[in-house]
């Protein structure tokens, strides 16, 4: 069982995690009418009396935007305030993951987003490496990513993640670590909960938003870091066959950070990953607040001594 942080935010107050419970009749449980965020926090390696959160404002804005799809007006600055207080109350000692969640909290039967109560909770858990830093194996999923015309994919809508769950389990049960989903047009989309990048001839390539991907914050960070490092980045459709002959492939996300791919289907990829490692080292330095050029991406929260 995960090591959950002791305090949760639930029904407008901070309570022990064990007391934060919802009814079995909760609307979001039955119809997927929720949306979530996720962000990492670490103890500052240079100052153990403060916690570092990466791109907090961007995470809060994305969750606020996701809430709009549910008809819920939840300002980003309110989310931010609650998350900062959450960290101060828990004072986590290990690297951790925050999970804020907005949802239809009413007990009605009809699938809808109008005329039903909304709510917001936050919990956290200790989290080290989500995926192996040495590389993961991926299979092409038999499940396809949904289309934005049928589901608001620019939000992290909880109901959409049934596809991710099916794809992940299919991959693991067939001997792989992770799944890569194609979109309805047969182009590479994303992994079960991560964006996809490939490297070919020294250029970084990733699917664009028109390929039904999530607007990943780590993805955006990688693109901006690559630009600053002088690495040409192209956003365009990627064919399945390109995964097999790419010089490098990696996945990225809040939990996964930057995770190299060592194998796709039965195609072994190179163990030499210079561009992936360069980006990963840079991102690690930034999240640990060791890079003065990106300090506006990191919020340091002082803790009680």
Q: How far apart are CA 103 and CA 101, in angstroms?
A: 6
Domain residue limits at 170: 136-287
* Overall number of domains in the chain: 2
Kindly state whether residue 173 falls inside one of the protein's structural domains.
yes
- Whether 184 and 117 map to the same domain: the answer is no
The predicted pLDDT at position 133 comes to 84
The predicted pLDDT at position 212 comes to 96
- Whether 251 and 154 map to the same domain: the answer is yes
Of 79, 108, 126, which marks where a domain is finished?
A: 126
Within 10 A of 277 (CB to CB), how many other CB atoms are there?
14
Tens-of-pLDDT digits for all 305 residues of the chain? Answer: 889 999 999 999 999 999 999 999 999 999 999 999 999 999 999 998 999 999 999 999 999 999 999 999 999 999 999 999 999 999 999 999 999 999 999 998 999 999 999 999 999 999 988 888 889 999 999 999 999 999 999 999 999 999 999 999 999 999 999 999 999 999 999 999 999 999 999 999 999 999 999 999 999 999 999 999 999 999 999 999 999 999 999 999 998 899 999 999 999 999 999 999 999 999 999 999 999 999 999 999 998 75
- Whether 114 and 149 map to the same domain: the answer is no
CATH number at residue 275: 3.20.10.10
Which pair of structure tokens corresponds to residue 164? Answer: 């991710």
The predicted pLDDT at position 258 comes to 96
The residue assigned the tokens 């067939």 is 174
- Whether 202 and 92 map to the same domain: the answer is no
- Whether 90 and 48 map to the same domain: the answer is yes
- Whether 121 and 191 map to the same domain: the answer is no
The predicted pLDDT at position 304 comes to 77
The predicted pLDDT at position 128 comes to 85
- Whether 82 and 191 map to the same domain: the answer is no
């Amino acid at each position: 069982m995960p090591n959950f942080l002791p305090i949760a935010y639930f029904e407008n107050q901070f309570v022990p995690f064990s007391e934060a419970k919802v009814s079995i009749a909760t609307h979001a449980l039955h119809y997927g009418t929720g949306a979530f965020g996720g962000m990492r926090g670490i103890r500052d390696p240079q100052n153990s009396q403060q916690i570092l959160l990466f791109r907090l404002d961007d995470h809060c804005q994305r969750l606020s935007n996701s809430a709009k799809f549910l008809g819920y007006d939840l300002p980003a600055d309110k989310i931010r305030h609650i998350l900062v207080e959450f960290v101060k109350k828990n004072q986590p000692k290990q690297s951790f993951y925050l999970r804020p969640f907005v949802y239809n909290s009413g007990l009605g039967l009809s699938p809808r987003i109008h005329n039903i109560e909304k709510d917001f909770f936050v919990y956290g858990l200790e989290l080290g490496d989500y995926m192996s830093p040495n590389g993961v194996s991926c299979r092409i999923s038999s499940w396809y990513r949904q289309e934005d015309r049928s589901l608001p994919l620019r939000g992290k809508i909880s109901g959409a993640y049934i596809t991710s769950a099916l794809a992940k389990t299919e991959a693991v049960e067939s001997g792989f670590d992770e799944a890569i989903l194609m979109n309805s047009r047969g182009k590479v989309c994303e992994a079960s909960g991560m964006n996809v990048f490939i490297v070919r001839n020294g250029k970084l390539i990733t699917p664009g938003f028109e390929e039904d991907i999530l607007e990943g914050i780590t993805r955006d960070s990688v693109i901006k870091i690559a630009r600053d490092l002088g690495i040409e980045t192209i956003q365009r459709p990627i064919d399945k066959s390109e995964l097999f002959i790419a010089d490098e492939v990696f996945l990225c996300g809040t939990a996964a950070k930057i995770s190299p791919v060592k194998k796709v289907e039965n195609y072994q990829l190179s163990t030499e990953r210079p561009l992936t490692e360069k980006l990963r080292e840079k991102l690690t330095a930034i999240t640990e607040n060791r890079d003065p050029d990106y300090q506006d991406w990191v919020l340091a929260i002082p803790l009680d001594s």
